[in-house]
Structure 1
Amino acid sequence: MAERSRARGLSYHHQLVLETLADQGPHARRDLAARIELPVADLSRAIGDLAARGLVQVMVVNIGGRHEVVTLTPAGTTELMALQDDMKSVQDLLLASITRGERAQLHYILRRVCATAARAGAGESATSPAPPGGPS
């Protein structure tokens, strides 16, 4: 899947930006960085790459201060749909040897594993000891 993305000139960060804008609409640059948990510098590089290709547009909005709002362009929507089609074809190829019932079972198991990992990650930060010299 990563090879298909790279062949399209898109990294995982590019894909995250496109998917987030498609799913949740325009975002201020800082809000987008926080939402996808990406450092602002990395996000800025990804946005610059995508803007150069005409896949996103950055507009300056002056409401309560200066904000750069990133929006998905029609070309960005088309590119994301093509990328998702590529991903689906890879998934179909990888899962061709298992039945529909086995796919459903695999999906169910993976959802449980991801939910457990999410709970463990959330609980880990709450139960982690304070760093040395930090508040206790």
Structure 2
Amino acid sequence: MYDGRKGSSSPFEQTVYLLSAAGRAADALLADRWRARSMGQTHLAVLSALARQGAHARPDLAARLRLPAPEVSRALDELLEAALVQSMVVQVNGRHEVVTLTAAGEAALEGLHGDAAAVQEELLAPLTKGQRTELNALLRRVCAKAARAAAGSQPAPDRAAG
């Protein structure tokens, strides 16, 4: 529970702390709900990618998600066992296992999104509709700035190498 007396007296440090604390609370609530479904962040990422972008080979999916291949493979095996995705072998420039989303996978993805909406509703219950809209707009601006800052901290590509 948030206690306004804890932490720094600096408003800037309090904001960073509060953003972090809210994020941890949201993650914990989502993890609890998703654990009850035997799911996690990687499962959501895999199902979402397959829903948005269609069939993928296992290595391509891991690369697209920028997640370790063993982690994605483990999630795919669990999703295959639950019949939320299906697998087929195709012969294109070699043999590849391609996975696609099933109707049950689409329903499971909707359930995960429903869980996220319920957590959002729980966390934002103290706010009015206008405050929620304003918070969303402010967080989008903060996240956009954070993404630009992260991109700026990446080393520039070596033009001589390519």
Calculate the TM-score normalised by the size of structure 2: 0.74
**Other-structure match for 1:6:** 35
Tell me the residue number matched to 2:49. Answer: 20
Partner of 1:84 in structure 2?
A: 113
Instruction: Specify the code of the residue in structure 2 equivalent to 1:25.
Output: G
C-alpha deviation, 1:48, in angstroms: 0.4
Relative CO higher for 1 or 2, CA cutoff 8 Å, sep ≥ 6? 1
Per the alignment, residue 51 of structure 1 pairs with 80
Q: CA deviation at 1:19?
A: 1.0
Alignment partner, residue 74 of structure 1: 103
CA distance in 2 between counterparts of 1:126 and 1:113 reads: 22
Deviates more, 1:9-18 or 1:117-126: 117-126
Equivalent residue, structure 2, for 1:37: 66
TM-score (norm 1): 0.88
Q: Gaps spanning 5+ residues in structure 1: where? A: 128-136
Secondary structure of 1:71 counterpart: strand
Matched-pair identity in %: 53
Query: Which of residues 55, 73, 90 in structure 2 aligns to 1:61?
Result: 90
1:23-54: CA deviation from partner (whole Å, max 9, x where unpaired): 21111211111111111111111100110110
Q: CA deviation at 1:114?
A: 1.2
Corresponding residue number in structure 2 for 1:133:
none
Deviation at 1:57, TM superposition (A): 0.9
Q: Secondary structure at the match of 2:153?
A: helix
How many residue pairs match? The answer is 128
Task: Give the superposition deviation at 1:126.
Answer: 2.2
Shift in Å, 1:117 = 1.5
Q: 4+ runs of 1 displaced by more than 4 Å?
A: none
For residues 118 and 29 of structure 1, what CA distance do their matches in structure 2 show? 27
- Superposed CA RMSD: 1.5
Residue 111 (1) aligns with residue 140 (2): yes
Q: Distance in 1 between matches of 2:42 and 2:120?
A: 20
**Residues 31-86 of structure 1, C-alpha deviation per residue, up to 9 Å, x if partnerless?**
11111111111111110011011011121111122221110111111111112112
| Alignment match, 2:11 | none
Distance 2:152 2:94 in 1: 36
Following superposition, the deviation at residue 88 of structure 1 comes to 0.9
